[in-house]
Chain A
Amino acid sequence: MDELTREFLIESQEGLDRMERCMTDLEERPQDAELIGEIFRSVHTIKGTTGFLGFKRLETLAHAGENLLGLLREGKLTANRPIITGLLQLLDGLRAILKTIEAKDAEGEGDDAALIGCLEELQLPAQTAAQRPVHARAHAHSAAAPPEQAPVSASTPVLGQLPVSAQPPEPVADTPSPPKAPAEAESDSSPARPRVQATAAESTLRVDVTLLNRMMNLVGELVLTRNQVLQATSADPNMTLLSRRLDMVTADLRESVMKARMQPVSNIFSKMPRIVRDLSQALGRRVRLQVEGQDTELDKSLLEAIKDPLTHAVRNSLDHGIESPEVRQAAGKDPEGTLKLRAAQEGSHVIIEVSDDGAGIAVEKVSQKAIERGLITADRAAHMVERELLQLIFLPGFSTAAAVTNVSGRGVGMDVVRTNVERIGGKVEIDSRAGKGTTLRLRIPLTLAIIPALIVRSVNQSFALPQGALSELVHIPPEQAATAIEWIENVPLHRLRGKLLPLIFLDRMLMPDVEHKIVTERDSFIAVLDADGRRFGLVVDGLADPEEIVVKPLSAVLKDIGLFSGATVLGNADLALILDPGSIALKAGVTMLEEGAVRAAESETDAAKGLEYLLVEVAGRQAAVPLGDVLRIEQLPLSRVEYIGYRPVLNFEGQLLPVEDSGGVLAAAQENSDAQGSSEKQIIVVVCREGNRHVGIAVSHVLDVAAGGDLFEAGTTQRTTGVTLLKNHVTGVVDLGSVPSLPAGEAAEPKWSQTEETVA
Chain B
Amino acid sequence: MSTATVGLHGKEKAAVTLVEMCSVRLGQSLFGVPITHILEIVGSARPQPVPLAPMFVGGLFHYRGDVLTTVSLRQLLGMPPKDGSQDILVLESSGGCFGLLVDSVGEVLTVSSADHEPNPSILDERRRSLFAGAYKLKDSLLVMLDPEQLDPMRLSANRAA
A interface, CB within 8 angstroms of B:
217-218, 220-221, 459, 461, 510-512, 552-558, 560-561, 563-564, 566-569, 573-577
Contacts and interface: CB of A to CB of B under 8 A. Distances in A.
Contacts of B51: 459, 461, 510-511, 563
A569 B62 CA distance: 8
Contact of B69 (A220, A511, A557, A574): A557
Contact of B152 (A511, A512, A555, A573): A555
Contacts of A567: 60, 67
B86 to A, nearest CB: 16
A567 B47 CA distance: 13
Nearest to A458: B51
A335 to B, nearest CB: 57
Contacts of A573: 62
Nearest to A564: B50
B54 interface: yes
A567 B49 CA distance: 12
Interface string B40-72: 000000001111111001001110111111000
Contacts, number: 67
Given A567-B60, A575-B61, A554 B67 contact: yes
A449 B9 CA distance: 54
Nearest to B70: A555
B120 interface: no
B69 A555 contact: yes
A461 B48 contact: yes
Nearest to B64: A221
Interface residues of B, number: 23
A33 to B, nearest CB: 51
24 contacts: A217-B65, A217-B66, A220-B65, A221-B65, A461-B48, A512-B52, A552-B65, A553-B67, A554-B67, A555-B96, A555-B152, A555-B153, A557-B57, A557-B69, A557-B153, A558-B53, A563-B52, A564-B50, A569-B62, A573-B62, A575-B60, A575-B62, A577-B50, A577-B60
B50 A556 contact: no
Nearest to B52: A561
A574 B65 contact: no
Q: Which of A221, A552, A558, A568 has the most CB of B within 10 A?
A: A558
Contacts of B69: 554-555, 557-558
A577 B67 CA distance: 10
B5 interface: no
A558 B57 contact: yes
A364 B51 CA distance: 48
Contacts of A560: 156
Q: Say whether chain A's binding surface is mostly helix, strand, loop, or mixed.
A: mixed
Contacts of A512: 52
Contacts of A576: 48
Nearest 6 pairs of A and B residues by beta carbon: A221-B65, A510-B51, A575-B48, A555-B69, A567-B67, A552-B67
B57 A461 contact: no
A330 B97 CA distance: 67
A72 B158 CA distance: 64
Given A217-B65, A220-B65, A552-B67, A558 B50 contact: yes
B98 interface: yes
Given A555-B153, A557-B152, A575 B67 contact: yes
Given A461-B48, A573-B62, A577-B48, 12 more contacts: A217-B65, A221-B64, A553-B67, A554-B60, A557-B69, A557-B156, A558-B50, A561-B52, A563-B52, A569-B67, A575-B48, A577-B60
A510 B67 contact: no
Nearest to A218: B65
Nearest to B154: A557
Q: Which of B62, B98, B153, B155 has the most CB of A within 10 A?
A: B62
A561 B57 CA distance: 12
B61 A556 contact: no
A510 B52 contact: yes
A574 B48 contact: yes
Contacts of B57: 557-558
Contacts of A217: 65-66
B28 to A, nearest CB: 29
A552 to B, nearest CB: 4
Interface in B9-52: 48-52
Nearest to A574: B48
Q: Which of A557, A558, A563 has the most CB of B within 10 A?
A: A557
A573 B57 CA distance: 21
Nearest to B49: A461
B140 to A, nearest CB: 33
A555 B64 CA distance: 15
A540 B61 CA distance: 23
Q: Which of A510, A561, A564, A567 has the most CB of B within 10 A?
A: A567
